[in-house]
Structure 1
Amino acid sequence: MTYQSKSEFSKPEISQNRKRLPNQRWYIYPQNLELANKLAESTNLSPIINQLLINRGIETVEHAQVFLSPESLKLPSPLEEFPDLAISLELLQHSIATKEKIAICGDYDADGMTSTALLLRSLRWLGAQVDYAIPSRMHEGYGINKRIIEDFHNEGVGLVLTVDNGISAFEPIARARELGLKVIVTDHHDIPQELPPANAILNPKLISPASPYYGVAGVGVAYILAVCLAQQMGSVQDINKPMLELFTLGTIADLAPLIGVNRRWLKRGLQLLPKSSLPGVQALIQMSGVQARGMESQNNSPSLTPNANINSDSRSHINSNSNINSSSNINSNTTNNLNRNPNNKSLKTLKPEDIGFRLGPRINAIGRIGDPQIIIELLTTDDMGIALERAMQCEGINRQRQEMCEEIEHAAIAVVETEYLLSLKDDRVLVIVQPNWHHGVIGIVASRLLERYGVPVFIGTYEDNETIRGSARGIPEFHVFEALEFCDDLLGKYGGHKAAGGFSLPAKNLDAFRQRLSEFANQCLEVHHLKSLLKIDAQINFDRINHELYEELNTLEPCGIENPDPIFWTPDVQVMDQKTVGKGHIKLTLCQTIGDRNHKIKAIAWRWRDYFPLPKRVDIAYKLRENHFNGNTTIELEILGVRLPDRSNLFPKVIKKPIKSSFEYNQRHYICAIYPNQFSGELRIKNPEGIVLAVELGKNTGLLGANRQEAQTVDISEQRYQVIIQVAWNALSRLLEDI
């Protein structure tokens, strides 16, 4: 038997511009209406908001109270949580008192640079003689090294302070101790088998995972150290706000989890940023066009039932104590009325997305392809003129970074489509290495390729003829660091965690590396995993989308890692109008018919030019967003996912005989029919050559062939099958509705 080719059976739908829809798998959270209604009685929020809380693991009134009112979180003393904090404070105070030189070794990402700026500002304010160094991304790579240690020693430095690095730098820190330098390591990365011989180590991975401090990024560790030192020296009131602003920038830009103490402090910091006390932050906001928005203040967050409420006296006590901990042994008369707004019900605030997509990239661009000194000067200067100059440099370098990313992404897609696309399901991992790509941006391109193809991505470029250096991004079922460990004997340096990593290897090992990664991927991934996972909170209809719902969603802010923006979906939406705008975005007008009313709404799909034009009817997944234009504010959709509607719900529960129809598609005549069976029913589509696609309703696979005995199993979620199935359902739908 000779099979008709799959491409001949179902050719692409309209033009060559749209070859496919996004390669996604949707996970829709199960809805727990009983628990949502129960929580609603206490939180005074609608059941849908309480369902969002449940989706985030919040299932008790007490947990909801802390989440909705982060100021109610009872914080233990940092001195009790971080064993080496006391010795760190002692070392720093001694250096400040004796005018001993202190040197900070930072990192070139947003976390490392904001950490460096935070400690420079605070230590200088406290009278320290302090300077800094950041290793070269291109020539030295991540972390403190022996060259930096030798330079510090030659400059007469007595105390070295690492930020956002150092936990794995055994040899450089051992060298520092040989030279008589004291070392404090502040870091948040995973703990190696052997700790460096530092005088003190501050790392949340060394404390209990149950601690509210466990999720802080490098800038969070620096913030805790700086606040505690300032408290001990009686100066926290003067420098608290700028430190909190830098903590906010670094934490969000580093994708730290927005839970625990991060949530509490970020809520305050986001309210400070619109009227920042730092010229550099003011200049960044001005250049990026970020606009603050009104949001409910902490004092106006949803109230709980009387039994669950914190009374006004206890709330006042919490807000009037130390920024770190009200019961800390480090006492100061620091007040934290950052969330108080006695005269107005609404505060101007930024959202994490403003930092994640506007401010953060401008900072990170410098670390990727520029000189980190630009950011350090931007965030430490008190001169607005210098701040604006540095912000303009950030703007220009970020544009270069964007152009570089676009160029490399297009080149990478071309390579994948011509060389690797057909083998992805067998390899289950994408390894792509090309010369002359900038190492500083290939991590961004790796994320975009992962989103496009749904497989783990390892992307690299040649440092020279003998060495490759790269970045990796993974999907939920694939552990990047474990994959790199699986290739240990083939690699040079490597590191990372579950979702991302970095590596280097001899160029001669590339083929073996590709094969070994495929072996690892085939051990942990099934074919159905090879699609981007989109987690969806709930289904809503367009008539529910309004300003009231949007404002209620603000009670979940700040949203980000481990507290994602709510994602909704709406089935069978009509695409009334669509066009490409800007750099490949799709702007849409969508319509849902509910009863006898049509509900229309505007939407945007960022960087979706490859999917233009979208089909006329689709299921959509999206976030809600505000659009401010000409003084008007409207609620629009940010499209995250699209799939063809499931027409199987039109199938009658009981039919006694087949229902048949036919249709023309790409100037070819097809016959389609629904046949009853003992389970649900089967859709069959026959092409002019007699090849049949048979799909049992509700299944993800079908049979393709001239007869059932010799037919091959195919994945009907692929675009070429989805399109022809959709056209067949359209042909049958009128007949089905008449039954």
Structure 2
Amino acid sequence: MKINNELVKIVLDAYDLDEEKLNEIFNEPVLSNPYEAKGILECGRILKKVKDEKEKILVCGDYDADGICATAILVMALKKAGIECGYYIPDRLTEGYGLNVNTVNNALAKGYKYFITVDNGVKAVEAMQAIRAANATLILTDHHNYDESEILCDCFVHPFKMDSKFQTLSGAGVACLIARMLMKESREAVILACVAAIADCMPVWGETRSLIRLGLKYLNQGCYPAVNRLKNNQFERCDETTIGFQIAPKLNVTGRLADRAKANNTVRYLLSNDERLIDSGVVQINELNEIRKQITMEMVSISERQLSEAFFQIVHDDTFHEGVVGLVAGRLANQLNKPFMVLAHKDGLYKGSIRSVEGLDLTTFFDGCLDLLEAYGGHAMAAGISFKEEAYEEVCHYIEENSHDFVYEKPVLNTIKLDETMLTLENIDALNCLRPFGTGFEAPIFEVKVQIKEVKTMGGNAHLKIISQLNNEYILFNEGAGAEQYRQCTEVGFIGNVSINSFRGRRTVSMNVMESVFS
């Protein structure tokens, strides 16, 4: 395989990828035949039966970006296939995650005999039992970890049951397989699956890589105005960063702020072709997202005032919004390299999110106090938790006792050392041939020594922009207080990801600095 650009060669040498992954990067993206995926054929038979019997099916979704996209994909496909359907996403604050018995009973009362979950269902044991007891039919599609003994359905469609190329799929990726079975190719379905994969931080290999590459291609061709309009700048090209930091948060916002809006309305927005509805929808979503940002900032500020000397930080306040606690916990954990539990308090119950650090596994950490908890679940680095207010002191004591001896070792960054002269517009543009970057194929982290030309503060002196003698920019967030230290230096090492910043027609190489190395 001939590579013409020297920086691309350096990056590929550092990653040491096998031939299969190199082919995925450089070959044209092609989606697999959906019938190759286990469960799709049986799913198709049941959906044909729904249509032939003139019955209707309820699509049972989830309130995050993946669940919303998956719901929109399936509703779009079912309607195009002539299958009557409805859809429902639960309220995060009042109903919680996943299909529940109340939703099942309400649907049964409305004449639904068929149900299909997207991006949820494997933990909905009581709902599965209710559907079986009513002699109704359930197609369960999900991508989360599951216990085989708990699965009770008529058809189970899950990436872990499929060949390896499908095992990176998100909930919307699975829905896209079903959609492509029902209506062959759909650019809208591929775009939604692309957005969901990035939003859910799925590994960017296998079928998911093809979905992302094709989805970005279609978006940049102007397809799907309802999604394209969620970008901050309508004139900029869309890449995985645009989706991760601009589009995905806006799709998530109605699920987070369920007291102000409904995730079901975001599905309705994604299904609309009416320009006026799209225009008004964009305005509402953007307004909600600004409210979410403000709530997050206020909660971070309150949390910072509660910080203690403890390693495992616990913060709470009666004003905290339950839908935003995960964002706050994640931001603080990343910033301070400590585990954070951020709790909202209402009606005698604490409900919150935990974000951990490398080495402290949340799947096992709370095993010794599960009897104190009302609910708990998640994975190694992130979890949700709830407990009654009378258990607060005991839970805090348990956390302190089981974390105070933990020694955190900051992960060593795998960097690629370069001479700064390699960081040119031409070279950084050339790296685009390796995209998309993401989970399992992270953007390269470069380490360079820089001759300092100018040090500027930004954002009310909160952040730094350092300009090198080569006129490259180095951005240091939340490091404004250290401006004088950099002004005293002539040379410093920087470690971080590199991109191109475009402003008023001027393109500049820019590094988002993760670490500084002083001589």
TM-score interval, smaller chain? over 0.9
After superposition, the Cα gap between the structure-2 partners of 1:484 and 1:555, relative to the gap in structure 1 and judged at 3 Å, is farther
Q: CA deviation at 1:473?
A: 1.2
User: Whole-Å Cα distance in 2 between the matches of residues 72 and 372 of structure 1?
Assistant: 32
Alignment of 1:524-539 (within 5 A): 525-527=406-408, 529=409, 531=410, 533=411, 535-539=413-417
Aligned with residue 478 of structure 1, among 360, 373, 385: 360
1:78 and 1:393 map into 2 onto residues whose CA distance is 36
SS at match of 2:310: helix
Kept in 2, the 8 Å contact 1:114–1:247? The answer is: yes
Q: Scaled by the length of structure 2, what TM-score is found?
A: 0.92
Aligned pair in 2 of structure 1 residues 62, 109: CA closer, same or farther (>3 Å)? closer
Count of residues in correspondence between the two structures:
513
* Deviation at residue 173 of structure 1 after TM alignment: 1.3
Report deviation, 1:51.
4.3
For residues 485 and 54 of structure 2, the distance between their equivalents in structure 1, rounded to whole angstroms, comes to: 66
- Name the CA distance, whole Å, in 1 between partners of 2:173 and 2:353: 25
> 1: distance between equivalents of 2:367 and 2:222?
44
User: By how many angstroms is 1:502 displaced?
Assistant: 0.8
Gaps of 5+ in 1: 1-41, 231-235, 294-349, 592-597, 647-739
Whole-Å separation in 2 of the counterparts to 1:612 and 1:93: 66
Summarize the alignment of residues 266-665 of structure 1 with structure 2, pairs less than 5 Å apart: 266-285=212-231, 288-293=232-237, 350-369=238-257, 370-416=261-307, 420=308, 422-424=309-311, 429-465=312-348, 467-521=349-403, 525-527=406-408, 529=409, 531=410, 533=411, 535-571=413-449, 573-574=451-452, 576-581=454-459, 586-591=463-468, 598-609=469-480, 615-616=486-487, 617=489, 618-643=492-517, 645-646=518-519
- In structure 2, C-alpha distance between the alignment counterparts of 1:62 and 1:219, rounded to whole Å: 24
Aligned twin of 1:657: none
Query: Which stretch of structure 1 is more off in the superposition, 218-227 or 475-484?
Result: 475-484
If you compute each CA radius of gyration, which structure gives the higher value, 1 or 2? 1
Aligned position for 1:727: none
* Equivalent residue number for residue 115 of structure 1: 70
* Residue pair 1:245, 1:273 contacting (<8 A) in 2 also: yes
**1:138 aligned counterpart, secondary structure:** coil
CA contact (8 A) 1:118 1:222 kept: yes
C-alpha contact 2:25 2:435 (8 A) present in aligned 1: no
Deviation, structure 1 residue 68: 2.7
- Label 1:515 to 1:573 Cα distance change in 2 as closer, same or farther (>3 A): farther
Report the equivalent of 1:183. Answer: 138
- Larger relative contact order, structure 1 or 2 (CA cutoff 8 Å, min sep 6): 1
Indicate if the aligned counterparts of 2:420 and 2:449 stay in contact, CA closer than 8 A.
no
Structure 1 residues 181 and 475: CA distance shift in structure 2, 3 A: same
Q: Supply the distance in 2 between the matched residues of 1:401 and 1:161 (Cα, whole angstroms).
A: 31
1:584-632: CA deviation from partner (whole Å, max 9, x where unpaired) = 65242333xxxxxx43322333454565555333432122222222323
Do the aligned partners of 1:450 and 1:457 also contact (CA within 8 Å) in 2? yes
Q: State the percentage of identical aligned residues.
A: 24
For 1:229, the equivalent position in structure 2 comes to: 182
Distance 1:56 1:159, change over 3 A: farther
CA distance in 2, matches of 1:539, 1:206: 41
CA distance in 1 between counterparts of 2:159 and 2:177 reads 11
Residue 23 of structure 2 corresponds to residue 65 of structure 1: yes
C-alpha separation in 2, matches of 1:441 and 1:367: 10
What's the secondary structure of 2:86's corresponding residue?
Answer: strand
SS of the equivalent of 2:438 reads: coil
Output the amino acid matched with 2:83.
Answer: A
Q: Determine if contact 1:575/1:588 at 8 Å carries over to the other structure.
A: no
Residue 516 of structure 1 deviates from its aligned partner by 2.7
Task: Say if 2:356 and 2:380, in contact at 8 Å, map to a contact too.
Answer: yes
- Alpha-carbon shift at residue 184 of structure 1 (Å): 0.8
* Whole-angstrom distance in 1 between the partners of 2:178 and 2:13: 34
Q: Helix, strand or coil: the match of 2:323?
A: coil
CA distance in 2: counterparts of 1:409 and 1:575, whole angstroms: 34
Match of 1:329 in 2: none
1:85 deviation in Å?
Answer: 2.4
Aligned residue for 2:306, secondary structure, equals helix
SS in 2 for 1:599: coil
Question: Structure 2: how far apart are the matches of 1:476 and 1:281?
Answer: 35
Q: Cα RMSD over matched residues?
A: 2.3
Query: 90, 107, 124: which one pairs with 2:45?
Result: 90
Distance 2:126 2:305 in 1: 42
Letter matched to residue 588 of structure 1: K
Quote the offset at 1:638 in angstroms. 2.1
Q: C-alpha displacement at 1:534, in angstroms?
A: 6.2
Alpha-carbon contact 1:275-1:282 (below 8 Å) kept: no
Residue aligning to 2:154: 199
Structure 1 length normalisation: TM-score?
A: 0.66
Change beyond 3 A, Cα 1:636–1:225: same
By how many angstroms is 1:501 displaced?
Answer: 1.3
Is the Cα–Cα contact under 8 Å of residues 462 and 481 in structure 2 kept in the other structure? no
- For residues 45 and 435 of structure 1, what CA distance do their matches in structure 2 show? 58
Are 1:66 and 1:72, in contact at CA under 8 Å, matched by a contact in 2? no
Distance 1:99 1:278, change over 3 A: farther
